[in-house]
Chain A
Amino acid sequence: MAVAVDVSKFESVTMAPPDPILGVSEAFKADSSPLKLNLGVGAYRTEELQPYVLDVVKKAEKLMLESGEFKEYLPIEGLAAFNKATAELLLGADNPVIKQGRIATVQGLSGTGSLRLGAAFIQRYLPGVKVLISSPTWGNHKNILNDSGVPWSEYRYFDPTTVGLDFSGMIEDIKNATDGSIILLHGCAHNPTGIDPTAEQWGTIADVIEEKSHLPFFDVAYQGFASGSLDNDASSVRQFVARGLELFVAQSYSKNLGLYAERIGAINAVVSSSDVANRIKSQLKRLARPMYSNPPVHGARIVANVVGDPSLFDEWRSEMQLMAGRIKGVRQSLYDALSSVDENGKDWSFILKQIGMFSFTGLNKNQSDNMTDKWHVYMTKDGRISLAGLSLAKCEYLADAIIDSYYNVK
């Protein structure tokens, strides 16, 4: 059938570049080498390198099937039972902030969608205010801020010489920012580095933020997944809240409940009064309506069911400990392998000090390319490997690849 138009309306549309993170998996799939290893996207794998659907999720889905739930629209702000559960998980069920109604919670499309609502809100109500993001940070943070029309700049975070936190650089940059800026912080298990501030360092960060009247915006994508404990992993957020700071928090259940595909998370605003909380909630809804009208119900119901049933909740805690434990075990094994293969005595202990799914290896782009081209190890070009995709069985191979890339490629 001939096209009616002479020149296509979309003549000018160029091919978008592949997403640096999600594009890695696509390249991995295309590789036919039996040695290939996918340490790209952050989705948990078992020791057999298979995807993992949590038992509690299967049970929850079965319950939902049996009860024959309706499929009506959720309210714009999402499932009430989910919103209640997620705020309580974040702050602790007894937190006075919750009792006082000082937290506004709106169900969002996982971490991305929740961050986007927060960013859209910032653009509308704090036009021109800059968001400071860590250097480095999850790549999509920049896209989210750009597409929301929110200006951003970076604060120092990763120190390549120590493969650890550049704490003084971080503090200096936060101090030098215009008063009343917004500071995007990773609540736990920093992505991509795996490097988190200590509790004491968090206290200092909070001091500076308070002094400068900044607004903290926490991205919490790994609560429970980092250390294995929901409470420990929320301690940074809770510390700030206990100090009376107003803040935003984006949550995701992609990793800790393995609900990647169902897009379940929340945007929270902890504020000075319940009146403010209600107003902010209403405006977040007004931003969500022309994006997707109301959020998807399936993931929200799963979370509500798991958290709402004490035995399922306990079982979830165990499964999280299992996942976090496997990651820790793999870190240890990789460290051991690196230490034994490395003839130059480099200190690889940063692998053990880092936490969560990711490790920043310290490899540069060329070295990362060598990992892929020579060793068929797929990772992102910033040197990030996803330990969730590593099995104990592959640690020696990976150590060989890292040593080769680190020493033989500039």
Chain B
Amino acid sequence: MALKSVLTCRTPFTLSKVLEVSSGERCQSTSASNIVVQKVERGGRIDRKLEGGRAAMAGRAIARSNMRAGKRFMSTAGWWSHVTPAPRDPILGVTEAFLADTHPSKVNVGVGAYRNDKGKPVVLQCVREAERRIAGSKFMEYLPMGGSVKFTEFAIRLAYGDEADVLNDKRVASVQTLSGTGACRLFADFQKRFKPESLVYIPIPTWSNHHNIWRDARVESRLFRYYDPATKGLDFSGLMEDVKNAPSGSFFLLHACAHNPTGVDPSEEQWKEISQLFKEKGHFPLFDMAYQGFASGDTEKDGQAIRIFMNDGHQIACGQSFAKNMGLYGQRVGCLSVICSTPQESVAVKSQLQQIARPMYSNPPLHGAEIVSTILSDPELKDLWHKEVKEMADRIISMREALRFNLEKLGSKLNWQHVTDQIGMFCYSGLTEEQVDRLTREFHVYLTRNGRISMAGVTTGNVEYLANAVHEVSK
């Protein structure tokens, strides 16, 4: 197959036949790179820009100069002429662009990291204290593949409730993961390995990295309706219809609270109905919980969906992240738990999750897990944490109110009720891509192109400017 032979050409060898290049001989120039491009185009599936040609020529330039210097350069076109530059990550790329902007009024409402009212990053006091206690510790040895047992025990108590039967029955398999991303990826790989024919249903819209994760795990995905642009709320009937129509035993990715990017969550009643329908269909619920405590300010309340499903007897899986609710973004602390039918099964499931982790990173990083364990094991620190997470949630809620108030004050004819109805870090503004581009170009306001505003980046200092900018592009 022509495509494969070029891509796997280990270029110097095969290409040397094409380009008639061997050591010491001069290379053909542009005609050769065109041959490469033609062959690639016949194949079709791989990116087909002329990067290959450019890189090949650069490689040859170096080769020629090195050859003149008496040094043979291994690869002329090199191995990597077919490697194109990856597109910028849509979320993380926003912050990169923001940092590069020198405008004094620039506003970053892109990435979902909490900021205080001065727009500064925050390290929680409980975290600082925990960090102080563990610094200079004697222990830096490898954690087990499943991570810190102490940490996962605290994590699942937080997710399922201290008194949960599933915990007392020891039916929960849990492993420490690389934050929420790592939890999702570990589950996706596990799903692929043990339910290879299963599909995953992903809400429209969702955090963009969810699609990357299940795609790289090679699990086929489908979409289910979630957000209703007309109401800027939940498309409940659409959701229920899609759940009903999915083949029995499908895997569904659900956001436990503070849906990212919309901020739209089902009500308690709606969660109960969804749970019942899942039972009828034998579907598998996978919860991504990245904002427990951060959404309403109350960890119990934010875990309500999980408790509803758990009490209905579902064997759920739950990915937790401590990036936002403990401000441990950079430490990459998370947990994946799976409710099983028996303790033995939970041991087997855990062993298989570890088996997937071992060739990915061997064992997870210690520091963040130690911080979380220290906080959750100390009643005073735990109380302090609850207080601090409520403060963060309250500030977000007050910024929502302020943004809506300002938009209405400016005389916007649009309905901005969703700004205060939605919950959590993000507001799905309803702005179009063109309007978002204008916000960035004209007003130096940075957000993702789906119109998602990170309320954490809004302050009393910039809310009026932001409201004005939004009003200008949307009136």
Closest Cβ–Cβ distance, residue A21 to chain B (whole Å): 10
Closest Cβ–Cβ distance, residue A281 to chain B (whole Å): 9
Given contacts A5-B282, A5-B313, contact A273 B58 (CB under 8 A): yes
Bound form: Cα–Cα A214–B13 in Å: 9
Name which residue of chain A comes closest to B344, CB basis: A15
Given contacts A13-B194, A210-B74, A295-B332, contact A275 B89 (CB under 8 A): no
Flag if B314 contacts A4 (CB, 8 Å): yes
Q: Is B78 an interface residue (CB 8 A)?
A: yes
Given contacts A70-B121, A72-B121, contact A271 B71 (CB under 8 A): no
B-side contacts of A62, CB under 8 Å: 135-136
Q: B10 touches which one: A4, A65, A179, A287 (CB < 8 A)?
A: A179
Bound form: Cα–Cα A51–B72 in Å: 47
Name which residue of chain A comes closest to B69, CB basis: A244
Bound form: Cα–Cα A41–B66 in Å: 44
Encoded as 1 (CB less than 8 Å from any A CB) or 0, chain B from 1 to 44 comes to 00010011111111000000000000000000000000000000
Flag if A53 contacts B138 (CB, 8 Å): yes
Given contacts A10-B349, A71-B328, A292-B182, contact A213 B10 (CB under 8 A): yes
Given contacts A51-B140, A272-B73, A282-B85, contact A128 B8 (CB under 8 A): yes
Encoded as 1 (CB less than 8 Å from any B CB) or 0, chain A from 55 to 87 comes to 001100110010010111111100000000000
Which applies to chain A's interface (DSSP): helix, strand, loop or mixed?
A: loop
Bound form: Cα–Cα A15–B389 in Å: 39
Bound form: Cα–Cα A259–B351 in Å: 25
Flag if B179 contacts A68 (CB, 8 Å): no
Given contacts A72-B330, A289-B209, A296-B365, contact A279 B51 (CB under 8 A): yes
Q: Is B84 an interface residue (CB 8 A)?
A: yes
A-side contacts of B360, CB under 8 Å: 109, 112-113, 116, 147, 291
Chain A CB count within 10 A is highest, among B75, B111, B310, for B75
Q: B54 touches which one: A4, A13, A70, A275 (CB < 8 A)?
A: A275
- B-contacting residues of A (Cβ < 8 Å)? 1-5, 8-16, 19, 22, 41, 43, 51, 53, 57-58, 61-62, 65, 68, 70-76, 109-110, 112-113, 116, 125-129, 140, 143-144, 146-148, 179-181, 210, 213-215, 243-246, 254, 258-263, 271-273, 275-276, 278-280, 282-283, 285-287, 289-299
Flag if B58 contacts A296 (CB, 8 Å): no
A-side contacts of B10, CB under 8 Å: 126, 129, 179-181, 213-215
Q: Is B92 an interface residue (CB 8 A)?
A: yes
Bound form: Cα–Cα A96–B179 in Å: 38
- Segment from B126-134, B380-388, B423-431, B452-460 that makes contact with A: B126-134
Chain A to chain B contacts (Cβ below 8 Å), 15 pairs: A4-B312, A5-B314, A10-B194, A19-B354, A51-B140, A126-B10, A128-B4, A147-B356, A263-B361, A271-B79, A279-B86, A290-B217, A291-B185, A292-B179, A292-B185
Q: Is B206 an interface residue (CB 8 A)?
A: no
Bound form: Cα–Cα A250–B460 in Å: 47
Flag if A291 contacts B209 (CB, 8 Å): no
A-side contacts of B135, CB under 8 Å: 61-62, 65
Closest Cβ–Cβ distance, residue B59 to chain A (whole Å): 4
B-side contacts of A280, CB under 8 Å: 80, 83
CB proximity to A under 8 Å, residues B189-215: 189, 194-195, 209, 212-213, 215
A-side contacts of B463, CB under 8 Å: none
Closest Cβ–Cβ distance, residue A178 to chain B (whole Å): 8
B-side contacts of A292, CB under 8 Å: 178-179, 181-182, 185, 332, 361
A-side contacts of B217, CB under 8 Å: 290
Q: A276 touches which one: B13, B78, B179 (CB < 8 A)?
A: B78
Flag if A260 contacts B123 (CB, 8 Å): no
Bound form: Cα–Cα A275–B80 in Å: 10
Encoded as 1 (CB less than 8 Å from any A CB) or 0, chain B from 294 to 315 comes to 0000000000000000111111
Flag if A58 contacts B352 (CB, 8 Å): no
Q: Is B373 an interface residue (CB 8 A)?
A: no
CB proximity to A under 8 Å, residues B94-151: 96, 111, 113, 121, 123, 127-128, 131-132, 135-145
Given contacts A1-B165, A10-B315, A263-B364, contact A140 B13 (CB under 8 A): no
